[in-house]
Structure 1
Amino acid sequence: MKETPNFTGWHAALLHREDSMTDRLVRQLKLLGCSVTQQWQPLAEDALPDIVLVDADQGWDGLLPWPRGTAPRPMVALLGSEAPGRIAWAIQQGAGAIIAKPLSVSAVYPALVMALDIHRERLAVAEKIQHLEERVRLRPLVHAAVQQIMAARKVDEHHAYNTLRSCAMKRRMAMEQMAASIVGGAEPMPEAV
């Protein structure tokens, strides 16, 4: 994280039964600039807040509208128990930070920052994995383009691969895109390097 975030204007959903701790938490969130909705019912999928704070001691799988481990928003677990099952539930739901109960108001801001940073990191990793999976899926195109270059230019596999790579670099394209253009006939057969 390059900058410490500012939560002014954020909408926070607090999924917890109302008590004196939640009053203090709501007050602290408002001091940080958040608008807060408190409820003890499942979160609506079509109206997700900017950040979710959830009671991990009593939470259940249907409380959050997303599949385990795919939280679309930063999430903070409120936890007063040391029960491994409750900690595991919070992690499985996508919590990026925990605020221990009883609440210390000085723990709120660091937990929000940590949850946001971990959420952003998870999204970046998921995007990178998706990109790499796409490249792996397209590897047969690269192989087919290399085979076509080998046959057309009478070169070995190493030279054909280098030719494809060089052509892709000159055109500032991914090798997979260049290979698809060659295999599809949209690009002329490149000269051997």
Structure 2
Amino acid sequence: MNKSVRRSFRGHHALIISAGRKDGSVLKQQLTRFGVDSSHYDGDWTRDSRGPFDLVFFDAEAGRGVQGVEDAIASVEGPVLALVGSDTPSALNWVVDRGIHGYLTKPLRGEGILAGLMIAYHAFDEHRTKVKTIQHLEEKVRARQFVCTAVIELHYSLGLTVNEAFQLLRTSSMHRRLAVETLSAMIVAREISTSALITDIQDRNNRVRKRC
């Protein structure tokens, strides 16, 4: 399935960390063309360089010596782009450790910056989607673990078969208008006793008899 790549960045705010004068000038000029405001950081925050920021550029060589550079990069919830001018392993390892979504090769030229932005935003969006998917799956696994634990507890405390315990759990969750996973978590946390589920079923049966 083809996904559209972001082409508009108007209104975004970029943090530029330790870019050289010439590279910084080229980058800032191009960002302005794209409607992106930019602020420069060399170790000291000024009033104009405060965030929040939508993306960050950092110089892979000069940036390593800037005080607080790693915290500054990590504080930006958006694409991270490195300005790379060296192939030394130490510099590249440090760049990779920053979790970059793209890079631009120094000396910077106007051509290629838009493409770099588009690729970096796409990589960032893909990464964020994958993180959310993983978190959702982890939550589902945890929820299922609660269900299994609650079923086992009902099995032993009430002398039910596993199938009977799960059916009791489902019926009681419907009676209480709760998700099975939520009710299971409450049972495991001792917020609801297992005997209370029997009471739920008895109350339900009594109401059915009265209607008849």
- Distance, in Å, in 2 between the alignment partners of 1:21 and 1:114 is 20
Partner of 1:49: 53
**Superposed counterparts of 1:29-68, under 5 Å:** 29-41=31-43, 47-60=51-64, 62-65=68-71
Distance 1:182 1:63, change over 3 A: closer
- Distance, in Å, in 2 between the alignment partners of 1:110 and 1:14 is 18
Give how far 1:90 is off.
1.4
Q: How much is the aligned-residue C-alpha RMSD, in angstroms? A: 3.6
- Bigger helix fraction: 2
Given the alignment of the two structures, is residue 188 of structure 1 paired with residue 194 of structure 2, yes or no?
no
**How does the TM-score come out when normalised to structure 1?**
0.74
Q: Report the secondary structure of 1:33's partner residue.
A: coil
Partner of 1:179: 184
- Distance, in Å, in 1 between the alignment partners of 2:44 and 2:112 is 25
Task: Judge which range, 86-95 or 37-46, deviates more.
Answer: 37-46
**How does the TM-score come out when normalised to structure 2?**
0.69
Looking at CA atoms only, which structure, 1 or 2, has the larger radius of gyration? Answer: 2
Query: Which of 119, 122, 146 is the equivalent residue of 2:124?
Result: 119
Given the alignment of the two structures, is residue 145 of structure 1 paired with residue 150 of structure 2, yes or no?
yes
**Superposed counterparts of 1:83-94, under 5 Å:** 83-94=88-99
Distance 1:176 1:42, change over 3 A: farther
Q: Report the secondary structure of 2:71's partner residue.
A: coil
Check conservation: 2:80, 2:120, Cα contact below 8 A.
yes
> Which string of whole-angstrom CA distances, capped at 9 and with x for unpartnered residues, describes residues 74-96 of structure 1?
11100011112212211211211
Number of residues paired by the alignment? 188
Task: Return 5+ residue gaps in structure 2 as ranges.
Answer: 202-212
- Distance, in Å, in 2 between the alignment partners of 1:159 and 1:172 is 19
> Which string of whole-angstrom CA distances, capped at 9 and with x for unpartnered residues, describes residues 22-56 of structure 1?
21111111001011112322669973411101101
Give how far 1:97 is off.
0.1
Q: Which amino acid aligns with 1:28?
A: Q
Partner of 2:207: none
Give how far 1:8 is off.
0.3
Task: Return 5+ residue gaps in structure 1 as ranges.
Answer: none
Q: Which amino acid aligns with 1:34?
A: V
Distance 1:90 1:48, change over 3 A: farther
Give how far 1:124 is off.
3.2
- Distance, in Å, in 1 between the alignment partners of 2:18 and 2:44 is 11
Check conservation: 1:12, 1:51, Cα contact below 8 A.
yes
Check conservation: 1:74, 1:116, Cα contact below 8 A.
yes
